[in-house]
């Protein structure tokens, strides 16, 4: 009988050992073998109970173990296909095993019964279900159970058997610990392999998606699913680390203003509510109120670029390594997608910039008129950069303390040029002085408002630099959006091309001024007069506004030339020009027509007004004196003819009318003003 019990013990050991060996197969077979193992342990327990019943059969109460065995088989039939129930039942029944075996030992001879060898089965069960601590408790329980069932506390054989059994149980506990660690690592490796496989499939699928927002939402959802998180959120930031996007899954979107927290993760972090970094941000406090008790934070970055961070919260207060592994891998995928999207965005911006620079090249070659140039610049910028206001301010070569706001388009309307002081503390002035671009966001008072007098939300001001010289500044402003460094870089690139166009236009304007200016007096020449009077006549014809013309002829030039020489005569003409310039309005145009003849175009002036202007000029020249070679020259005079435009008149008719009036002044004794009648 003792040999039979020993054979049963060997069979139990081999059966369980083989099944445990089966558990150490590749991870792909793990779930199936685990279920079979619990079935095997329960079946071996049934065999152990049957052997004990067989040994106790000859005892008057031997039917009790058999009845218990039948009940066990009935219970096993109920839970056979329920692995979780089997696992719990196999652990709880270890105590019942000890009681049953102790009863069988007591029925079959006590200390002389071979049934004690079946205690080895309990050691095998503890191998896979009990820790080393439980194995120690099991050894103590076996000693007590065997002692009470035999009453052989004073026999050496009892203690020898218990010592061997204790060693066996301790060894089983150690083996069980290593087995469970291996089983845990096997499960963890399987999960990681499964997650990596899912990540590979996910990454291949999102490569087909063009919208980065959809990609990020899918990755966030997958992060929550794979890590079994109860909630997940994603925060995106711009280049200045300001929050540019926020989304949350698993819980309702909080009615909070999401502001950047003081603590931003630089590597994967696991937080609990007890840590300051959790409570320092309102969003985390909101998650705590919803029952979250642990949080994984992981940054989204690639090399030096930081795109934001992802947070996954759990109701469970503990986070395992597998969850951290999953989150980190998905964060890496997110970072790669954001980097790819950033590269595409940069490439797109570069393409846009090249296109606009090509267009700028055409603008440079086609526009030499300053006003038309500025309109073309504004339209080119508006095609790719949203704005509500655009201006170009140019420096004044003869007045560095001021600048000319030569072109201003604001809120859909163009405004006339204005002169402003170049203030070091002002935005435009500081850019002109430093030669460095500036970006300002937020409604801040950084200079003098003009145009529509609205305060912009976003402002870009860049210098216009040509061959190292600051020509002025160009600005784009918005009342609705804020700008970023990419916008500033874009506008700076446009400004570098615009500087060439503006300098070309300035040189063309200077050339035109030279071609239309009398070199001696600085007044317009006859070509300028022809252009101005033609435009003035057309305007008067269209609007019905008055227009007058003065024709001025020097009475003294010939006598001065004859007496003092032509250089003195030139000085006399310069004095006449100066007097004319000082006695006309800003809108009036004075020209030296030929020799000693001058003309003055007087827009919006009636004949009486023209006569008054002519009289002032005549009187001042008559009383004016100048010194030439220590000789005081007095009494210079002029004769003036005045004419007013009449409907239907041509330029020649107006000029001839003024010429006849001037001739009448000459004939009337000179030094007088005559009107055409």
pLDDT at 461: 93
Q: What is the DSSP string of 9-23?
A: HHHHHHHHHHHHHHH
Q: Where are the beta strands (DSSP E) in 261-342?
A: 269-271, 294-302, 305-314
| Section 151-158 average pLDDT | 83
Task: List, by residue number, the catalytic residues.
Answer: 596
Place of tokens 């964060």: 331
10's CB contacts (< 8 A; 6+ apart) are none
Return the bridge partners of 404, or none: 394, 419
| Confidence bin at 13 (pLDDT 50/70/90) | very low
Q: Is residue 32 predicted with pLDDT exceeding 90?
A: no
Residue 664 contacts residue 639 (beta carbons within 8 Å) = no
Alpha-carbon dihedral sign for residues 486, 491, 492, 496: positive
Q: Is residue 550 predicted with pLDDT exceeding 90?
A: yes
Residue 579 contacts residue 620 (beta carbons within 8 Å) = yes
pLDDT at 135: 66
Q: How far is CA 301 from the centre of its chain?
A: 13
CA distance 278 to 283: 9
Residue 661 contacts residue 551 (beta carbons within 8 Å) = yes
Task: Check: pTM over 0.75? Answer yes or no.
Answer: no
3-state secondary structure 127-168: HHHCCHHHHHHHHHHHHHHHHHHHCCCCCHHHHHHHHHHHHH
Q: Within 408-484, where are the H helices?
A: 427-434
Place of tokens 């939300």: 457
Reported as a single tens digit per residue, the pLDDT across 262-315 is 778 888 888 888 777 677 788 888 888 899 989 999 999 888 889 899 999 999
Q: How far is CA 86 from the centre of its chain?
A: 55
Place of tokens 């095609």: 383
pLDDT at 90: 79
Q: Within 367-452, where are the H helices?
A: 370-382, 427-434
pLDDT at 11: 46
Q: What is the DSSP string of 85-110?
A: HHHHHHHHHHHHHHHHHHHHHHHTTG
> Cβ-count burial of 508 within 10 angstroms (0-12 exposed, 13-18 middle, 19+ buried)?
middle
pLDDT at 604: 93
- Helix 485-515 to helix 321-366 angle (10° resolution) is 10
pLDDT at 641: 96
Reported as a single tens digit per residue, the pLDDT across 578-631 is 999 999 998 999 999 988 999 999 999 999 999 999 999 999 988 877 666 666
Q: What is the DSSP string of 510-530?
A: HHHHHHTB-TTTSSB-HHHHH
Q: Where are the beta strands (DSSP E) in 369-509?
A: 389-396, 399-410, 413-415, 418-421, 438-441, 458-466, 469-478
Q: Is residue 6 predicted with pLDDT exceeding 50?
A: no
| Confidence bin at 633 (pLDDT 50/70/90) | low
Residue 66 tokens, joined: 């058999």
16's CB contacts (< 8 A; 6+ apart) are 40, 41, 44, 124, 127, 128
Average pLDDT across the chain, whole number = 81
Measuring CA to CA, which residue among 200, 210, 44, 217 is closest to residue 129? Answer: 44
- Helix 83-107 to helix 63-79 angle (10° resolution) is 170
3-state secondary structure 198-217: HHHHHHHHHCCCCCHHHHHH
Q: What is the DSSP string of 23-63?
A: HTS-GGGHHHHHHHHHHHHHHHHHHHHHHHHHHTTTSTTTH
Q: Is residue 347 predicted with pLDDT exceeding 60?
A: yes
CA distance 74 to 97: 17
pLDDT at 631: 63
């Amino acid at each position: 009988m003792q040999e039979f019990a020993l054979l049963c013990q060997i069979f139990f050991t081999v059966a369980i050992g083989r099944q445990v060996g089966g558990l150490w197969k590749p991870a792909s077979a793990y779930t199936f073998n685990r279920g079979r193992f619990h079935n095997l342990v329960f079946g071996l327990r049934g065999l152990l109970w049957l052997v004990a019943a067989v040994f106790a059969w000859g005892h008057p109460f031997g039917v009790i173990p058999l009845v218990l065995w039948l009940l066990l088989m009935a219970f096993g039939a109920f839970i056979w296909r329920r692995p979780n129930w089997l696992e719990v039942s196999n652990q709880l029944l270890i105590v019942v095993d000890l009681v049953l075996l102790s009863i069988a030992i007591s029925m079959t001879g006590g200390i002389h019964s071979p049934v004690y060898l079946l205690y080895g089965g309990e050691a095998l069960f503890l191998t896979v279900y009990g820790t080393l601590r439980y194995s120690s408790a099991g050894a103590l329980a076996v000693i007590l159970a065997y002692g009470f069932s035999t009453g052989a506390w004073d026999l050496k054989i009892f203690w020898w058997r218990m010592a061997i059994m204790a060693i066996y149980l301790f060894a089983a506990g150690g083996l069980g610990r290593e087995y469970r660690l291996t089983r845990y690592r096997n499960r963890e490796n399987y999960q990681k392999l499964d997650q990596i496989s899912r990540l590979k499939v996910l990454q291949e699928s999102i490569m087909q998606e063009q919208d980065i927002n959809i990609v990020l939402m899918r990755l966030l959802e997958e992060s929550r699913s794979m890590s079994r998180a109860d909630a997940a959120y994603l925060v995106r930031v711009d280049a200045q680390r300001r929050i540019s996007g926020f989304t949350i899954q698993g819980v309702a979107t909080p009615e909070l203003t999401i502001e950047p927290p003081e603590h931003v993760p630089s590597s994967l972090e696991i937080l609990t509510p007890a840590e300051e970094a959790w409570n320092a941000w309102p969003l985390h406090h909101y998650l705590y109120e919803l029952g979250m008790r642990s949080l994984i934070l992981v940054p989204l970055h690639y090399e030096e670029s930081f795109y934001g961070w992802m947070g996954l919260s759990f109701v469970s207060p503990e986070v395992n390594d597998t969850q951290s592994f999953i989150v980190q891998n998905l964060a890496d995928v997110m970072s790669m997608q954001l980097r790819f999207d950033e590269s595409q965005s940069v490439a797109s911006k570069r393409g846009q910039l090249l296109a606009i620079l090509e267009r700028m090249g055409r603008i440079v070659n086609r526009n030499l008129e300053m006003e038309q140039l500025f309109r073309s610049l504004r339209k080119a910028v508006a095609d790719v950069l949203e704005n509500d206001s655009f201006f170009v301010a140019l420096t004044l070569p003869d007045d560095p303390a001021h600048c000319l706001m030569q072109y201003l388009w604001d809120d859909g309307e163009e405004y006339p040029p204005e002169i402003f002081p170049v203030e070091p503390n002002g935005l435009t002035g500081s850019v002109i002085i430093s030669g460095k671009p500036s970006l300002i966001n937020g409604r801040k008072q950084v200079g003098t408002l003009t145009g529509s007098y609205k305060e912009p939300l976003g402002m870009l001001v860049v210098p216009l630099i040509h061959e190292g010289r600051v020509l002025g500044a160009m600005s784009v402003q918005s009342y609705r959006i804020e700008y970023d460094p990419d916008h500033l870089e874009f506008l700076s690139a446009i400004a570098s091309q615009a500087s060439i166009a503006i300098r070309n236009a300035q040189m063309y304007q200077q050339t035109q001024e030279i071609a239309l200016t009398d070199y001696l007096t600085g007044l317009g020449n006859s070509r300028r007069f022809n252009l101005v009077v033609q435009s003035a006549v057309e305007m008067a014809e269209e609007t019905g506004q008055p227009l007058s013309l003065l024709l001025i002829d020097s009475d003294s030039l010939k006598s001065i030339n004859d007496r003092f020489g032509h250089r003195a005569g030139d000085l006399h003409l310069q004095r006449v020009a100066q007097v004319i310039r000082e006695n006309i309005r800003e809108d009036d145009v004075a020209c030296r027509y030929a020799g000693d003849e001058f003309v003055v175009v007087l827009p919006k002036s009636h004949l009486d007004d023209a006569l008054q202007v002519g009289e002032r000029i005549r009187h001042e020249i008559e009383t004016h004196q100048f010194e030439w070679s220590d000789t005081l020259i007095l009494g210079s005079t002029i004769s003036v003819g005045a004419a007013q435009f009449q409907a239907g008149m041509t330029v020649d008719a107006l000029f001839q009318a003024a010429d006849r009036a001037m001739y009448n002044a000459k004939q009337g004794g000179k030094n007088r003003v005559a009107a055409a009648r």
